[in-house]
Amino acid sequence: MNLSIRARIAIVVVTLGILAFGFQNCGATKFESRSGSTFSGGKGECSNVTKETTQQLKIIYMVDNSQSAWNVDHKIVNGNRFKPLRSAAVRDFLSAFGDKPNFRYIFSAFSTEIQTFDFSSLQFKDTALNVTGAAEGMAVAADQFDGIASPNGTAYIAAFTHIKNLILADNVNPDSNPWRYSIVFVSDGEPMDMASSLEEKKTQIKTQIQTAKDAAKQMGSVAAVSTVYLGPPNPNSDKLELLKFMAAEGGGVFVDTRNDKNETIPINLAEAIIVPGNSCD
């Protein structure tokens, strides 16, 4: 089919416009929803940022340690006990990224109580003095975590108050290159210290996430919050919605630890870690 010169020019212009729009949207996405090792939302153009970034990053691993989380983590399938998913996620991450000198770690376990790993005594404590450490200490924390008690109840407000205090107690010089904070919040989406309705929970959790961001800002830095669902394979939709909302408010990602068959699968911690305040650098 022969086209006039004017028609051919029009086609070229439209094509270039489409390409320009596509490249315009290839930056970092503010919020993605990831299921297992695949993306169920967002395009994931920055999926290699954890490996490639040279930014100074403190990863705050905030883990639901309630009895319900323990039950999911330690359930028996076909006579075989699951390798504890929460600690295995740390070991797997360290095997891939533990040699990065620009990463530091904080490991806290929350339920009705909060314990944080002390990198000096190498134990989880109610009041830890040295809460930040390198990969070697984080590996010990993963081993120690498997042995600590799991009380009933899950306190989200207390957990975020603790996160805020961890950041404010950090020794950061705003005039230097400050550590950025990537918060990974692992839970089943069922807080016990918040309102009963989903909309009220969203209002409350929005405030809590903002306090963490404000704490980082006060320290001359930035923070992002990602969430990981760890709970029964057939959860109430409100639980997932709350965790997705938290990730969206936190500028992070939501990671679902269920596959297409609704089976619980290992946590890929690298998928939940965001380098805040930049675009794929």
- pLDDT tens-place string over residues 37-48: 332 323 333 445
What average pLDDT does the segment 108-125 reach?
Answer: 95
What average pLDDT does the segment 6-28 reach?
Answer: 40
Quick one: pLDDT at residue 75? 62
> pLDDT-derived band of residue 167, with 50, 70 and 90 as boundaries?
very high
- Among candidates 146, 152, 155, 182, which has minimal Cα distance to 166? 182
What average pLDDT does the segment 196-215 reach?
Answer: 96
What average pLDDT does the segment 119-124 reach?
Answer: 96
Percentage of the chain modeled with pLDDT above 70: 75
Number of Cβ within a 10 Å radius of residue 133: 20
Residue 76, pLDDT > 90, answer no
Q: Do 262 and 240 form a contact (C-beta atoms < 8 A)?
A: no
pLDDT tens across 137-158, in order? 999 999 999 888 888 889 999 9
Q: Do 189 and 239 form a contact (C-beta atoms < 8 A)?
A: yes
Residue 110 φ/ψ, nearest 5 degrees? -125, 145
Residue 13, pLDDT > 80, answer no
pLDDT tens across 46-69, in order? 445 677 888 899 999 999 998 888
Give the separation between CA 180 and CA 106, rounded to whole angstroms.
Answer: 13
**pTM given for the model:** 0.80
What domains can be seen in the chain, in order of their start residue?
31-272 (3.40.50.410)
Higher-pLDDT residue of 4 and 109 is 109
What average pLDDT does the segment 102-115 reach?
Answer: 95
What average pLDDT does the segment 233-244 reach?
Answer: 90
Q: Classify burial at 116, counting beta carbons within 10 Å of its beta carbon; exposed 0-12, middle 13-18, buried 19 or more.
A: buried
Lowest mean pLDDT across 2-11, 112-121, 247-256:
2-11
The alpha-carbon radius of gyration of the chain (Å, integer) is 21
Quick one: pLDDT at residue 52? 81
Residue 134, pLDDT > 80, answer yes
- CA-based max dimension of the chain: 79
pLDDT tens across 266-281, in order? 889 999 998 887 654 4
